[in-house]
Amino acid sequence: MPDLRQLARTLFDAAVAAADPALALRRAFADHPPPQATGRTILIAVGKAAPAMLAEAMALCPGADTAIAVTHHENPAEVPGAQVLRAGHPVPDEAGAAAARAVIEALKACGPGDRVIALISGGGSALLPAPAPGLTLADKAAVNRALLAAGLDIVQMNLVRQQLSQLKGGGMLRLAAPATVTAYILSDVIGDDLRAIASGPTVGPIGTRAEARALLRDAGLWDDLPLKVRAHLSDDTPAAPVPEAVNHLIGSNRQSLEAMARAAAQAGLATRIVSDRLTGDVADAARVVLAELAPVAEPTALLFGGETTVNLTGTGMGGRNQELALRVALDAPGIGNDWVFLSGGTDGRDGPTEAAGGLVDGATAERIAAAGQDAKALLADNDSHAALDAAGDLLITGATGTNVADVQALLIRP
């Protein structure tokens, strides 16, 4: 059997490969081809997988009249014959606002007989900031930072984001009318709620402004938001209806977990997907993982998928996957077996760092101490990146060009 750390990385790579956006889109076009157009064809790709999805769509729909991809700054991919725009993630920036204006202009130019093929993947919410009238990019960025720091889950964050945007929560459909819209969606949201993926540009909104206000008040964020944001959310004028669209889900976290399970079984491990709902606070998620860390009689792979949250109280740097891996390493019981634990974002990036996550084992805490670092103090400062870096336990993959949330593998050998 290969080294457990190498095997954990092999399983992670299998998860990423299962979410390959080009292959997923090719399969979806074969099963659910977009309608024919009597007018123009407009291809709009938004998200961390946007370039790969757009390149495949252009091959499947030759002669498109407009082709735009909006992805994150760390994705260097180009698409011949298309406009590739890059933007900030997870905090929106002016480049994203400019990209949003380009998308809005392309959609506004649509007429009867035209077709829009929307290619949606994770990250699209931050990448395409189009502030509602009366709001600025700075207003939206302030809200986004507050939502991230509060540890809200993706559905809660997107409930608020949709109410502040021209494109989210079905806004793309309103702008494109009367053209037909067909969307192919790669999910980074646990449970695959299409309203939450990239804040649902091709589906109806998650909720109302009143519900967004209630959420922000319950989270203790309302009073600290910009005055213009509070005024906008306090206006309960009914929104314009959202036109119909056809939406196809083409990839998900669960599909990637199943690919990991197949790879683990092929390597000779007893395999079980423990949970595809590893969500909520990262400390609680660590306890779920630790509850599975027990002696085994045969090599075993225990798999998890989801997207946790971190309630920021310190000033350090890291991300939810790095913090989860560090917590497991520091609190792991002695079980008399070899073990490793990997937690990684399938997009290749965890928080504002170059790492996808962490890959730890029973000696991680010792390596951190040997490097002269205090692991518990670093954890208390939300500085999981520094702790794992000291141990040589950062998971570095580079941008993967896809995103189906996070995956975890706990490998145990007698």
Q: How far apart are CA 325 and CA 357, in angstroms?
A: 8
Asked if 192 and 256 touch (Cβ cutoff 8 Å), the reply is no
Residue 234 DSSP one-character state: T
H helices of 166-319, where? 171-176, 209-218, 227-233, 253-266, 282-290
Nearest in space to 292 (alpha carbons), one of 243, 341, 330: 341
Domains located in the chain, CATH noted: 4-14+253-413 (3.40.1480.10), 20-251 (3.40.50.10180)
> How far is residue 209 CA from its own chain's centroid?
24
User: What is the token pair recorded at 165?
Assistant: 């945007």
Q: How far apart are CA 220 and CA 214, in angstroms?
A: 10
Q: Give the 3-state secondary structure of residue 100.
A: helix
User: What is the token pair recorded at 53?
Assistant: 């999805």
Q: How far apart are CA 363 and CA 368, in angstroms?
A: 9
User: What is the token pair recorded at 328?
Assistant: 């497991």
- pLDDT reported for residue 308: 95
The verdict on pTM exceeding 0.75 is: yes
- pLDDT tens, position by position, for the chain (414 residues)? 679 999 999 999 999 999 999 999 999 999 999 998 899 999 999 998 999 999 999 999 999 999 999 999 988 999 999 999 999 988 889 999 999 999 999 999 999 999 999 999 988 988 999 999 999 999 988 998 899 888 888 789 889 989 999 999 999 999 999 999 999 999 988 889 999 899 999 999 999 999 999 999 999 999 999 999 999 999 999 888 899 999 999 999 999 999 999 999 999 999 999 999 999 999 999 999 999 999 999 999 999 999 999 988 999 999 999 999 999 999 999 998 999 999 999 999 999 999 999 999 999 999 999 999 999 999 999 999 999 999 999 999 998 888 899 999 999 999
In the β-sheet with 246-251, what is the strand arrangement from edge to edge? 83-87, 66-72, 41-46, 115-120, 180-186, 246-251
HSE value, Cβ hemisphere, 13 Å, CA-based, for 258: 7
User: What is the token pair recorded at 90?
Assistant: 């997870």
Instruction: Fill in the amino acid letter for 29.
Output: F
- pLDDT reported for residue 3: 94
User: What is the token pair recorded at 356?
Assistant: 């996808």
Q: Give the 3-state secondary structure of residue 213.
A: helix
For strands 66-72 and 83-87, give the pairing: parallel
Q: Which helix (H) or strand (E) holds 53?
A: helix 50-60
Nearest in space to 173 (alpha carbons), one of 193, 134, 200: 200
- pLDDT reported for residue 1: 63
Name the burial class of residue 312, with classes exposed (0-12), middle (13-18) and buried (19+) by CB atoms within 10 angstroms of its CB.
middle
Asked if 162 and 172 touch (Cβ cutoff 8 Å), the reply is no
Asked if 114 and 85 touch (Cβ cutoff 8 Å), the reply is no
- pLDDT reported for residue 101: 97
Report the length, in residues, of the chain: 414
